[in-house]
Structure 1
Amino acid sequence: MKTSCFTLLLLLLWPCCPEALPHGTRLSAAPGNCCFKMYDQELPRRVVAGIQSSHRSCRTAAFIVKTVRGREICYSQRFPWAQEVFNQHHGHEGSTQ
């Protein structure tokens, strides 16, 4: 009975203050990373360890570049350098170097 009361309390409390719930119980509308600030300068390609698209439910379509030092940097999907790096890393046709 105590467990069901606690669960009901959490479900009722969540819409009011989701940050008060334990980390494992938080619900997210957009899984993965979303970008809010875009970088607009090219990086040397030797420092790029990987690149991925932001989740499709994010407000802004972006590429997330991970550097060899573990840093993640956001670029607009319209930024030509980021498009080329994405194509190069994912083997898409028409990629240039």
Structure 2
Amino acid sequence: MKTLSLTAGLLLMVFAVYPSDASKAVNSPDFCCFDFFDKRIPKANIVSINKTHSQCSTPAFVIETPKRLFCVKQDEDWAVREFVKRAQ
């Protein structure tokens, strides 16, 4: 019985401490952009493009490339076109 209680307690602790993928979601108020990349990212390098949450102070796109994430303001025409193209 002690082993079962100990195992259950450890599992609860692991799930409470281990962050889920949902908590890392770009479209959440926890993820906002404050520094912006001001150059064009080649289409071939873009893995995904998502909008930041509407509660963020500056609307932005988060662009994922194979190496890292970039924040780009939503008033960049090339980023808007790429977002719309991928949303279809």
Post-superposition offset of 1:32: 4.0
Distance 1:40 1:33 in 2: 19
SS in 2 for 1:78: coil
Correspondence 1:26-45 to 2 at 5 A: 31-45=29-43
In structure 1, list runs of 5 or more residues that go unmatched.
1-21, 25-29, 92-97
- Higher-RCO chain (CA-CA 8 Å, sequence separation at least 6): 2
Runs (4+) of structure 1 exceeding 4 A deviation are: none
**Which one of 47, 59, 62 corresponds to residue 61 of structure 1?**
59
Aligned residues between the structures:
64
Q: Structure 1 vs Structure 2: percent identity of aligned residues?
A: 30
Structure in which a larger fraction of residues adopt helix? 2
In structure 2, list runs of 5 or more residues that go unmatched.
1-16, 20-27
Per-residue Cα deviation, 1:23-81 (whole angstroms, up to 9, x for no partner): 98xxxxx6342000111110111110000000111111000000022x11011100001
* RMSD over aligned Cα atoms: 2.0
